[in-house]
Amino acid sequence: MKHLAFAFLAGLASALGFAPVGLWPLTILAFAALLWAIEAAPSLRSALARGWWFGVGQFVLGLNWIATAFTYQAAMPAWLGWLAVVLLSLYLAIFPAAAAGLAWRWGRKEKEALVLVLAAAWIVTEWLRGTLFTGFAWNPIGVTWVGVGGIAGLSAFVGTYGLGAVTVAAGGAIYHLILRRWAVAAGFAIPILLVAGSLQNVNVTTARAGEVRPHLRIVQPNIGQQNKWDPGYEQENFLRLARLTGPPAREPRLILWPEASTPDYLSYEPAPRRRIAALVGPDDLLLLGGVEPIFESGGRAAAAHNSVYALSRDARIRARYDKAHLVPYGEYLPMRPILSAIGLSRLAPGDLDFRAGPGPRTLDLGRFGRAGLQICYEIVFSGDVVDRSNRPDFIFNPSNDAWFGAWGPPQHLAQARLRAIEEGLPVIRATPTGISAVIDARGRLLASLPLGAAGAIDARLPRPAPPTLFARFGNILSFAFALLLVAAAVAVRRKTR
C-alpha cells in the first residue's frame, strides 16, 4: 500500500511542472521516483497499479480547473465538478498504467532498458490518450519544458509526444544518478543538454529588411462566463468589444476577437452583421467567433457550428471556419436522450448541440496572409492543427477560457506555445478574459494580456519559420523516436546478456 501512496504522491509532484506553477524540476524527480517504483514492483499487476496511481495523482491536480467549469452551470451542483475531475482522472490514469506495465514487462531486468522502454511507451500511450474516444490531449508531459532553455525546441523534431520521452529520459538520468551509476546518468543527460544548448541559439527572423509586417489588433474584453450569455449584458458586451477595437488606424489592421464573440447568427442576420462591420476600417479585416446554425427542412435550428467569420467593412463574410474537434459535455452532450433524462446538460449554455466541421483549414486573408484556424481546445492536439497541403502563415486560436479557473488558461497558453514550436508558425490567441497573446514561431511570448484584464494588443504579425521536420512529417516522427528507443533497449539487454 505504501508503494501505491508513494506513486500517487509522485504523480501529484509531476503535475507541479505544469503551468501556472511551473516547477519542472519536480516533474523530472517524479519520473525518477516512478522508475524506482516500477523497478521495485514484484509483479506486472503491481507495476500497473503503481503507474495508475501515478496517473491519478498527476491528473487530479493538473486538471483541477475542470471543476470550475461546473460552477457556471446552474442545472448541476458544484460538487459534481470535483467528482468529474476524479472520474476523468481514474480513466486517464489507464494510459500511464499501461506505460508502466510495458516498462516492467520489457525493461525491468536492466535499469537502462527500463528507462528506454518507459520513454517509448510514454510516447505511444500519450498519443492514444489524445486519440481514443475523440481524445483528451490536455497537458502532455512534454509541455512542462515550454520556456525552459531550448529543450522544448526538440518538439520540432520529435513532436510533443517525443518530448514526453525526453522527460522520462531526464528522470532516468536522475534515477541513475541516485544509484551512483554516473556513466549511465551522463548518457541520458548529456545528449539532452547538448541538443537543448544548440537549439537555444536558433533564431527566427521576425521581419526582413524593409518589410512591414501586418498590424494586429487583439481584443480582450474581460467578459466573464457568468455574463457572456445573459441577454441583459448583450449590449454591454458589444460596447466593450467596440471600445477596445478602437477607430481605424493609418494602416490596415487584422482585428481579432475571441471565440463566440457574438450571439447573433451572422450568416442570417444582416443587421447585427452591419453593426459589427461598422467598427471595421475600409482596409481592415475582422476575425470573430460566432455560432452558425444548422437548419432542418422545416426551418428549425437542429444543431450549430462553433465558427469563426472573416468580416470586412462592407459587412460581407469573406470566409468561415467551423470547429472540428468538439468538447464532450461542453459543446455537445453524448448520449443526450439518456443523460438529459436524468437532468444533466451541457456545461456551456444553449439548447443546440454543436456539430464538427471538416478539420484544419487555411483561410486566405489577402494582404494579411494565410491563416490556420484552431478554436479553443483544438490547439492542444499535436499534429492536427494545420492543413499540411496548404500551410498557413500563422495560426489564429480564438478561445473562451473564462470558465477554466486559474489553472486552465496558463496551461492552454503553454500548449499553444508548443504548437508554435512544433509547426514553426506564430500563434495568435484572443480570449474574453485572458490569456490573449502573440507567440512567435519559436514559442516565445512576444505580447500578452493577463487573466481578468480588459485591453487590446497592438502588434506586428511575426514571420513564420521554414517548415520544421515535424511540420513535414507529423507524429510519424514521434513513433520513429519510440522505435529507436525500443531498439536501444533491445541492444542494452543483449549486451548485458
Active-site residue set: 259, 323, 376
Contact 151, 166 (CB under 8 A): yes
Contact 439, 416 (CB under 8 A): yes
Contact 220, 430 (CB under 8 A): yes
Which residues fall within 8 angstroms of residue 255, CB to CB, at 6 or more apart?
A: 217, 219, 245, 279, 280, 284, 285, 286, 287
Which residues fall within 8 angstroms of residue 221, CB to CB, at 6 or more apart?
A: 237, 240, 241, 244, 258, 432, 454
- Angle, helix 24-39 to helix 2-15, in steps of 10 degrees: 160
Contact 175, 115 (CB under 8 A): yes
Q: Give, in order, the Cα–Cα distances in Å from 436 to each of 26, 127, 148, 161, 396.
A: 28, 28, 21, 26, 11
CA-nearest of 336, 379, 383 to 355 is: 336
452 burial (CB, 10 Å; 0-12 / 13-18 / 19+) is middle
132 burial (CB, 10 Å; 0-12 / 13-18 / 19+) is exposed
C-alpha cell at 67: 471543476
Rg (CA), the chain: 23
CA dist 102 and 47 (Å) reads 9
CA dist 85 and 66 (Å) reads 6
3-state DSSP assignment of residue 463: coil
DSSP string of 414-468?
A: HHHHHHHHHHT--EEEE-SSS-EEEE-TTS-EEEEE-TT--EEEEEEPPPPPSPP
312 burial (CB, 10 Å; 0-12 / 13-18 / 19+) is middle
CA dist 47 and 165 (Å) reads 19
Amino acid letter for position 13: A
The residues that bridge with 372 in the sheet, in sequence order, are 362, 395
The one-character DSSP state at 304 is E
